[in-house]
Chains A and B, each alone.
Chain A
Amino acid sequence: KAGVTQTPRYLIKTRGQQVTLSCSPISGHRSVSWYQQTPGQGLQFLFEYFSETQRNKGNFPGRFSGRQFSNSRSEMNVSTLELGDSALYLCASSLAGQINQPQHFGDGTRLSIL
């Protein structure tokens, strides 16, 4: 069974640009969550999607947005990039998003802002 796939693995952008990251969950998983990982702030929750609906959102500015498609694949978008957005962005999927179900993580997209 294929794991969570994130594309691209590495991305370099400049300030002011926008970026879209993609996540394909494990087959059959309907819940997708996104996290930002930085050396200073650690792992921070961005948002969770289930059946194409945003179910939960972390404390990030509106420049960060996401969506989920009918096949459960998800994208997140960051507009007007800032230097502080440089991070590893992790996607995780779970079967139905229930609390007791573990989240399975992809290897992440490393975003560097110049």
Chain B
Amino acid sequence: AQSVTQLGSHVSVSEGALVLLRCNYSSSVPPYLFWYVQYPNQGLQLLLKYTTGATLVKGINGFEAEFKKSETSFHLTKPSAHMSDAAEYFCAVRAEFGSARQLTFGSGTQLTVLP
């Protein structure tokens, strides 16, 4: 079985500060990893994905994430937070076989950006 752990259900940063949202996964087979963002009363929007190749992945809105196999991590970062980044962020994992094909989500991290 695969799982995703997001450390910190709530993270607060000041506008202009570094954003770091943590994600650790467990998977018995090579994973595909995704970060999604959800704004109030909306669905999920894909920020970025890791499938194969380069371990540093750049996404939309200035976000990026690094896949570290040795640490089983896929942390999301943004150098400078903007007020519009306030939202809930979800890390998710998929893998090739059986029930692992389904997208498994972490519990989410609510990001607050302080003026």
Hey, which bits of chain A sit against chain B, CB under 8 A?
4, 6, 33, 35, 42-43, 45, 48, 55-56, 58, 90, 92, 99-100, 102-108
Contacts and interface: CB of A to CB of B under 8 A. Distances in A.
B46 A102 contact: yes
Interface of B: 32, 34, 36, 41-46, 49, 51-52, 90, 94-96, 99, 101-108
Interface of chain A, main secondary structure: strand
Contacts of B107: 42
Contacts of A92: 43-44, 103
A83 B50 CA distance: 38
B105 A43 contact: yes
Nearest to B51: A100
A42 B102 contact: no
B101 to A, nearest CB: 6
A58 to B, nearest CB: 6
Contacts of B95: 99
Contacts of B51: 99-100
A54 B107 CA distance: 26
A105 B49 contact: no
